[in-house]
Amino acid sequence: MSQYSDLLYEGKAKKVFKTPAPDQYYLEFKDSLTAFNALKKGTFENKGQVNRDIAARVFEYLGGRGIASHYVRAEGRNGMVVKKVEIIPFEVVVRNVLAGSTAKKLGIEEGVALSEPLVEFYLKNDELADPFVSEEQIRIIYKIANAQMLEIKNYALKINEYLKELFLGIGIRLIDFKVEFGKDGQGNVLLADEITPDCCRLWDIKTNEKLDKDRFRRDLGSVKESYEDVKQRLMQVLK
């Protein structure tokens, strides 16, 4: 249970609480698993702690390479103190390999490597099932300047390079991932939300075994063991 009682928001994977500091929030990672916009639900014991530990280590790793994020510190069993940011209402997906619904939609076999990373934007709206939006739609309909979207895109590509290097070092291939960004009180763009097996596709380099939420989506079993495997590998290189 959180040491903070003023709940602001509860999402599918996290709860957000106020803290005594006006410019900080406390995120509590939940044990729940959801897929297909929460049409499929599940859980496993200590998932929140596992994901918190992974996210904290990844944020610290990226911070050491100049990627500014909302992360302040890990706190409690499954919590994290973060900077207060206004979330930019678009999810950013970076794909290195075609997989999942994108491969199916395009009629291309899953596992085909792309010649360069593909960056896509999706509107953050569960009621609309987070639809794909083009950069022109973002500029014309949502009135977000090209310069800001280019900044976010370049951030995402830098994150991709650092994450690929990190995961390669622990025998994992980064297939794709989803990130979110927010703006702090000074208008700075910061990496936000989380980077965990909930929002990355991670395949073992030697076996192509999936180590991410696809194990839950596709009823492959060993979901808990796969998440814990990712955590343990990261802990070996990120002290």
**Gap between the Cα atoms of 165 and 235, Å rounded:** 15
Quote the tokens at residue 49: 């702690």
Q: How confident is the model at residue 109 (pLDDT cuts 50, 70, 90)?
A: very high
Q: How confident is the model at residue 106 (pLDDT cuts 50, 70, 90)?
A: very high
Per residue in 171-202, pLDDT tens?
Answer: 999 999 999 999 999 999 999 999 999 999 99
Quote the tokens at residue 35: 């897929």
Per residue in 117-143, pLDDT tens?
Answer: 999 999 999 899 999 999 999 999 999
CB burial of 7-37 (b: ≥16 within 10 Å; e: otherwise) equals: eeeeeebbbbbebeeeeebbbbbbbbbbbee
Per residue in 20-78, pLDDT tens?
Answer: 999 999 999 999 999 988 789 999 999 999 999 999 999 999 999 999 999 999 999 99
pLDDT recorded at residue 238: 85
pLDDT recorded at residue 5: 82
Element (H, E) at 37: none
Mean pLDDT of 84-103: 95
Which fold does the domain 86-221 belong to in CATH?
Answer: D-amino Acid Aminotransferase; Chain A, domain 1 (3.30.470)
Mean pLDDT of 227-239: 94
**71 neighbors 80 (Cβ within 8 angstroms):** yes
Quote the tokens at residue 107: 């009629």
User: What mean pLDDT value characterizes the chain?
Assistant: 95
**Does pLDDT of 1 surpass 70?**
no
CA angle 201, 126, 23 (to 5 degrees): 85
Q: What are the structural domain ranges in the chain?
A: 7-83, 86-221
- Provide CATH code, domain 7-83: 3.30.200.20
pLDDT recorded at residue 38: 77
pLDDT recorded at residue 39: 82
**70 neighbors 85 (Cβ within 8 angstroms):** yes
Helix boundaries (H) for the chain:
47-63, 100-106, 135-140, 146-168, 214-217, 223-237
Mean pLDDT of 148-175: 97
